[in-house]
Amino acid sequence: MSALPDGVPPVVRPYGDTTGDGMVQVSFTLPLAPGKRAEGAAQQLARRMGIDAPMVVHATGIGDRYTFFVVYGPVSHVVDVAAVEVVEREYPLLSPKETNAAVREHLQRKLVVVGACIGTDAHTVGIDAILNVKGWAGEKGLEYYREMKVVNLGAQVSVPDLVERARAERADAVLVSQVVTQRDAHVHNTTTMSAAFREAFPAERRPLLVVGGPRFDEAGAAALGVDRVFGRGTTPGEVASYLVHAVAARAAARREVPA
């Protein structure tokens, strides 16, 4: 159990029409043609999910064999807020000026970052938001930082090509964005990538491996074999601050190892 900030109640229920009424809204698709039987099936599923007296508030046919539903109703479950586990940020957020100064202090050269979307993923919005100078959410991307060299490989990069480019650039960090998640493609691609880097580099020379995307679990870095996972809403400043923190920690660890 973790201590709660002031003003945070220990137990909460969902809110719909009035505070604490337990109302939730869920959406899903069933492989049934639109109609009364399909709506009854949606209500049955909702009841088995713990929704009492579920109401089908929206039903749209998808072709003649599928129906998309939105179901609304109350649940009796409560949330134990103190038992909620999250990945806390263990490093301070730095301004670009502070980041540049930290890189100069700890590396005495530019920090090299290689980024890509791997596998069949062609969605570059995420990686571009972090790397491109125009950035995202009012923050400039890593290309803006004077003490960083950024190599953006774009979309559909194979894992072997990513490994070789990281080696050629002597990358300190590799950033991978994954948006395509069908059949857990993002998990497969990431574990394949991490295994390839561990095979290609000695542990002390392997770049930091950082992945991001809307469907990743930020607590799943160890299972994926990477150093850090960033979820939706991550800003360039958060990534830059993490890279400086992690690179500085590595540099300190190397200095402590006897010759």
**Identity (one letter) of the amino acid at 192?**
T
Residues 6+ apart with CB under 8 A from 103: 110, 111, 145, 147, 148, 244, 247
Give CA–CA dist 192/187, Å, rounded. 8
For the question of residue 36 being annotated catalytic, the response is no
Q: What is the DSSP code (8-state) at residue 142? A: G
| Annotated active-site residue in 97, 134, 140, 149 | 134
| 93, 241 contact by CB (below 8 A) | yes
Strand (E) or helix (H) holding 195: helix 185-200
CA angle 225, 226, 232 (to 5 degrees): 125
Give CA–CA dist 71/203, Å, rounded. 50
Give CA–CA dist 206/157, Å, rounded. 19
Give CA–CA dist 72/75, Å, rounded. 10
Cα 216 from chain centre: 4
66-74 and 55-62 strand pairing = antiparallel
Task: Give catalytic residue positions.
Answer: 134
